[in-house]
Amino acid sequence: MHSLQTTDYLVFLVYFLVVAGYGYWVYARKQKASVSASHDYFLAEGSLTWWAIGASLIASNISAEQFIGMSGNGFKMGLAISTYEWMAAATLMIVAIFFIPVYLKNKIYTMPQFLHQRYNSTVAMIMAVFWLLLYVVVNLTSILYLGALAISSISGLNLYLCMYGLAIFAIIITLGGMKVIGYTDVIQVFFLILGGLVTTYIALTMVADHYHTSGAINGLKMMMEKSDDHFHMIFQKDNSNFPSLPGLTVLIGGMWIVNLNYWGCNQYITQRALGADIKTARSGILFAAFLKLLMPIIVVLPGIAAYVLYQEGYFQNEMMVNGELVQDKAYPVLLNLLPVGLKGLSFAALTAAIVASLAGKANSISTIFTLDIYKKKINTTASEQQLVKIGKIAIWISMLLACILSPFMGIDKKGGFEFIQEYTGFVSPGIFAMFILGFFWKKTSSNAALFATIGGFGLSILFKFMPSFTNLSFLEPLGFATLVKQKTGELLYEIPFLDRMGFVFLICIIGMYIISILDHKKGVKSKGLEVDAAMFKASPSFIVGALLVFGILTALYTFFW
């Protein structure tokens, strides 16, 4: 049934009141305790605990693109899509050890601020404008559209009503500032994980029941037996999903760039840890890494369960849109099978994921616009209260723009999760190259950073469209190109987007090195950051936790290779 019952609405209402009520309580306490200064509003400086940081990282990261998009990829390609989650756990350890100390030591609060401090105002302003466009045009639009699509499928409500409802709910949370977002995210994660696990449990037991057995564990065993091809982490070249996840690239190639850029050079994410001390920040990030290991159970296994049931004749009409199989319908289809009450809980979990992610994105948009554009270029004498006011206006405008743009972005034409990854991937190699050399090589010049920013984007576009005018078959034996059928029916060799990212990153690094050396010979001075080896020393408890994360990852990849 494509609607919610009274009990479901009551469960959802309890969730809404708990989140909104707790958020208002945190906001009221903050107002009494301190002046609503800009750093307190944008960063919750010094006030988030490790568990709030870890929960906020996950709540802001897990959204419609995971619940809907990643479940859709689970339906299509299986467990291998989990590499985005599991490799993120490894990446978080690197960010905690090497990236966060650099930010905190140099008192960096926004990513454009880092670029201004390390390079110059031109690089910082170009990237500030770019990040705003990326967050609004790619991230906010896709989260809103996929989220509204799912909620509309489950509730039967109008798509646009769902979209604007999600936007308003997110704005309510966001207007309280980073501290309110951080602490309400703890509740969001509770609902997200509880509701997600319930959905997975129901999906696995449905599989078990179909094969005349019982229990979630038996359901998982039957899934592994009946769809063995959906339980491999590394694809071979003859696999139709190879262009999306090209073999070992997920372990030693472009997947590292995706994750290191996302978790280490992303305002939306690093903002959670930048207001804390180094020990609290690292503990929060470690907590987030363990939660990332859990995520495929919630967002991938339901998609595989839907695939197994689909192969057995279930959901033949529900998975179709205009006569075509749509993978992103997998999760909403499963939610519609849940019993009354549990459906409301899972609906709340999905909404929690979407709203938390929207709130985090909107807060980052607000922070970058206010601190890096308005404060620096429009009103340099703005008071703290004016900055907070402008930040709130930026949130309203960005949400409205995203609501207007999202139906026209073609998000439904491509798997939602891959839509975000590929379009973000046009710029992430250049950004990551600029950050990594900026951190650890003091000779890196501003001209080199400009090359990575603009040149990296240009190279990504070149590699994307190269197959239309160049035969890339010579790359096929090396595993860097694969035949892809175009809409016209023509077969062309394309470079998988993860490999494209790897190539662009290497070219950016080489180009930056050459430009920096030439600038250095000309006497151009570069502004290196304050970095020393002692900054990267981790506590024994953190080291034990990090080793445990890597041990679990090694076991998972070995078992599901």
> Can you give the pLDDT at residue 281?
86
* Strongest mean pLDDT among 26-30, 393-397, 476-480: 393-397
Name the least confident of 30-44, 120-134, 146-160, 523-537: 30-44
Count of the separate structural domains present in the chain: 1
> Can you give the pLDDT at residue 35?
45
Is residue 557 over pLDDT 90?
yes
Please report whether residue 71 resides in a domain: yes
Please report whether residue 190 resides in a domain: yes
Closest CA relative to residue 271, chosen from 103, 384, 140, 383: 103
Please report whether residue 411 resides in a domain: yes
Is residue 465 over pLDDT 90?
no
Closest CA relative to residue 529, chosen from 102, 215, 209: 102
The span from the CA of 121 to the CA of 557, in Å, is 43
Please report whether residue 278 resides in a domain: yes
Can you tell me which residue has the tokens 């499928």?
153
pTM: 0.81
Give the type of residue at 457: F
Name the least confident of 30-44, 455-469, 507-521: 30-44
Please report whether residue 499 resides in a domain: no
Please report whether residue 377 resides in a domain: yes
In tens, the pLDDT along 266-316 reads 766 676 676 678 888 899 899 999 989 989 998 899 999 999 988 888 888
Element (H, E) at 321: strand 320-321
**Tell me, what CATH number does 298's domain have?**
1.20.1730.10
Element (H, E) at 56: helix 50-61
Give the type of residue at 52: A
Question: Does residue 340 or residue 323 have the better pLDDT?
Answer: 340
Give the type of residue at 418: E
Q: Residue 541's CB: how many other CB atoms inside 10 A?
A: 12
Burial zone of 372 (CB within 10 Å; 0-12 exposed, 13-18 middle, 19+ buried) = buried
> At residue 5, what are phi and psi to the nearest 5 degrees?
-95, 175
The span from the CA of 278 to the CA of 96, in Å, is 9
In tens, the pLDDT along 479-495 reads 677 767 666 666 777 88
Please report whether residue 348 resides in a domain: yes
CB 224 within 8 A of CB 231: yes
Query: What is the domain extent for residue 361?
Result: 6-215+248-419
Please report whether residue 490 resides in a domain: no
DSSP H helices, 175-319, are 178-210, 216-226, 249-252, 254-264, 267-270, 278-299, 301-311
